[in-house]
């Protein structure tokens, strides 16, 4: 069962996405800040991380940078999901190693489809 870490402070999105992904047989972990994201990523070793850029304590760019430089998480695919939609952020996060960059709003169903597609690509690689 794939383990997915969602890092976002949007409670409604997290809840809806968690329900949808759990129905598709994924184990879902949810945190609402950057510091917790780093801790949970190290402890739980998720198969995929969904990361918002605008989160408290350590923003998404900082989390992405630390995860991609770490011994324990450099190879975990990270999907950036943000409401900002800034072209510079998109290019920067993809250069830093993000697997995908998606702009909010995105329905939980559409987002789950993207996640399932990425996990499927990982399994076939």
**pLDDT of 29-64, one tens digit each?**
999 999 999 999 999 999 999 999 999 999 999 999
The CATH-assigned architecture of domain 3-117 is 3-Layer(aba) Sandwich (3.40)
* pLDDT score of 104: 85
* pLDDT score of 122: 62
Q: Which of 82, 57, 80, 78 is nearest to 68 (CA)?
A: 78
Domain boundaries, the chain: 3-117
* pLDDT score of 96: 96
Sheet holding 3-7, edge to edge: 27-31, 3-7, 48-52, 78-82, 100-103
* pLDDT score of 125: 52
**pLDDT of 101-113, one tens digit each?**
998 888 877 887 8
């Amino acid at each position: 069962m794939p383990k997915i870490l969602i890092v976002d402070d949007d409670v409604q999105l997290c809840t809806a996405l968690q329900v949808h992904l759990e129905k598709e047989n994924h184990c879902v972990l949810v945190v609402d800040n950057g510091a917790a994201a780093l801790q949970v990523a190290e402890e739980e070793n998720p198969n995929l991380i969904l990361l918002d850029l605008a989160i408290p304590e350590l923003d998404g760019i900082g989390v992405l940078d630390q995860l991609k430089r770490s011994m324990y998480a450099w190879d975990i695919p990270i999907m950036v999901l943000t409401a900002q939609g800034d072209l510079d952020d998109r290019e920067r996060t993809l250069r830093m190693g993000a697997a995908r960059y998606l702009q909010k709003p995105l329905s939980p169903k559409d987002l789950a489809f993207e996640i399932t597609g990425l996990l499927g690509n990982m399994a076939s690689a």
